[in-house]
Amino acid sequence: MIVVSKSEVREIMTMSEAIVLMKETLADLNQGKSEMSLRATNQLRDGNFYLLMPAYLVEKKYFGVKLISIFPTNHSVGMPSHQGVVLLFDASNGKELAVIDCVEITALRTAAVSAVATDLLSRKDAKVLGFLGAGVQARNHMEALIRVREIEKVLVWDISIEASEKFAKEMKAKHGIDVVTCKNADEVVNMSDIITTVTLAKSPILNGKSLKPGTHINAIGASARAYREIDSLAVSKSKFYADKVESCMSESSDFLEPLAEGIISKEHLFAEIGDVVLGKKLGRENDEEITLFKGMGLAVEDIATAAYIFEKKRKLSLL
Ligand SMILES: NC(=O)c1ccc[n+]([C@@H]2O[C@H](COP(=O)([O-])OP(=O)(O)OC[C@H]3O[C@@H](n4cnc5c(N)ncnc54)[C@H](O)[C@@H]3O)[C@@H](O)[C@H]2O)c1
């Protein structure tokens, strides 16, 4: 069995490779080439929690589980808010193959999935990228999304002004694109063609009243029931896509709250993004509609990424 560290993950896999792999992974899931049960979300007594996420890649012959802890206030003690490992097994004989740090796997696969959705759903002429949240996921999403659209400007707002300013300085230097901090979330929402929400907010930060026609939203941060980023008006105005219907219906407050309020019905969930990849469901149909991709994060994405890293490390004769 091998152990792959956080820094090695990025040496082995690029964001461009992750985008290609996630497109294939989403299509595989919707064709029955992989299987997954709903993840278990486990609360700790101090308000922190951990997730257990199993998946089986039937055709590729791997199975495994991601075990990830989420400690939202960890930044105050200089530690990441998300930490954990992926355990990878061989499905032909049950042998354990690898333990891989999951911080970079989570960062890569989440942003890569949003890039797949953004490529299918955002306007082709989208130029302004907006972020609500300026942490790990925002950085990775910027790296991924500039690969699928010609982005000229990036806007960012975070509840922490220091976090926004640090993001703007770092990302401008890294990608050579103008990154501007905004005074509030509405400013970002109103001026962006593509908005990505990647915060730890527990009540909505994206207000539907500020949305302009033709916007695409990646709603990524609120992936557990206690969290919510998108208000009911924004959801009701949007053509709504999910990574997996069952995950969305089980844990997404962004969808379940407007559903409970009677503002939307279950049918408001238009399609799974995997079916758009496969051409079974339509993506954007005109320049006016507002599209929203709700990414809850799927175990198949983690196990497919882990399997790719394992195989590439073996191919590079690093094993
Ligand atoms: N859907 C998925 O697949 C998936 C995958 C990984 C992470 N996530 C979620 O994405 C979110 C961001 O993850 P990350 O790794 O970037 O975390 P992070 O801790 O690195 O960054 C979060 C940022 O959000 C800001 N923030 C917190 N509360 C806020 C609020 N109420 N309003 C505005 N900003 C606020 C923080 O200041 C911080 O800069 C988390 O909720 C995480 O659980 C989702």
Backbone angles phi, psi at 156, to 5 degrees: -140, 140
Indicate whether residue 204 lines ligand 1 (CB < 6 A).
no
Does pLDDT of 131 surpass 70? yes
Q: Tell me: do 51 and 157 sit in the same domain.
A: no
pLDDT, one tens digit per residue, over 20-51 is 999 999 999 999 999 999 999 999 988 899 99
Whole-number Å distance, alpha carbon 123 to ligand 1 midpoint, is 25
Whole-number Å distance, alpha carbon 222 to ligand 1 midpoint, is 8
Mean pLDDT over residues 107-122, rounded?
98
The DSSP secondary-structure symbol of 212 reads: P
pLDDT, one tens digit per residue, over 162-181 is 999 999 999 999 999 999 99
* Region label for 32, one of left (φ > 0), alpha (ψ between -120 and 50) or beta (otherwise): left
The answer to whether the beta carbons of residues 165 and 181 sit under 8 Å apart is yes
Which CATH number characterizes residue 232's domain?
Answer: 3.40.50.720
What are the residues whose beta carbons fall under 8 Å from the beta carbon of 160, sequence distance 6 or more? Answer: 134
| pLDDT of res. 21 | 98
When divided into structural domains, the chain yields a total of 2
| pLDDT of res. 316 | 84
Q: Tell me: do 268 and 305 sit in the same domain.
A: no
- The residue nearest atom 26 of ligand 1, judged by CA position, is 199
Tokens, residue 25: 């992974």
Which CATH number characterizes residue 20's domain?
Answer: 3.30.1780.10
Q: Tell me: do 90 and 137 sit in the same domain.
A: no
Nearest-10 Cα torsion for 272, 275, 279, 281: -40
| pLDDT of res. 76 | 87
Indicate whether residue 83 lines ligand 1 (CB < 6 A).
no
Q: Tell me: do 292 and 151 sit in the same domain.
A: yes
Q: Tell me: do 143 and 84 sit in the same domain.
A: no
Indicate whether residue 252 lines ligand 1 (CB < 6 A).
no
| pLDDT of res. 319 | 55
pLDDT, one tens digit per residue, over 227-249 is 999 999 999 999 999 999 999 99
pLDDT confidence tier of residue 105, bands split at 50, 70 and 90: very high
Does pLDDT of 265 surpass 90? yes
Residue 262 and residue 29: Cα distance in Å, rounded?
31
Q: Tell me: do 155 and 275 sit in the same domain.
A: yes
Indicate whether residue 84 lines ligand 1 (CB < 6 A).
no
Indicate whether residue 68 lines ligand 1 (CB < 6 A).
no
Tokens, residue 19: 């985008």
Q: Quick one: angle between helices 102-121 and 15-30, nearest 10?
A: 70
Q: Tell me: do 214 and 81 sit in the same domain.
A: no
Q: Count H helices, E strands: the chain?
A: 11, 15
Q: Tell me: do 44 and 172 sit in the same domain.
A: no
Q: Tell me: do 87 and 122 sit in the same domain.
A: no
Residue 275 and residue 26: Cα distance in Å, rounded?
8
Indicate whether residue 81 lines ligand 1 (CB < 6 A).
yes
Q: Tell me: do 117 and 94 sit in the same domain.
A: no
Backbone angles phi, psi at 196, to 5 degrees: -120, 125
CB atoms within 10 A of CB 240: 25
Q: Tell me: do 93 and 120 sit in the same domain.
A: no
| pLDDT of res. 318 | 57
Average pLDDT, the chain: 97
Q: Which residue reads 């206030």 in tokens? A: 73
**Which residues sit opposite 67 in a β-bridge?**
52, 85
Q: Tell me: do 36 and 69 sit in the same domain.
A: yes
Q: Which domain holds residue 63?
A: 2-105+300-315
| pLDDT of res. 46 | 87
Whole-number Å distance, alpha carbon 134 to ligand 1 midpoint, is 8
pLDDT, one tens digit per residue, over 275-310 is 999 999 999 999 999 999 999 999 999 999 999 999
pLDDT, one tens digit per residue, over 192-221 is 999 999 999 999 999 999 999 999 999 999
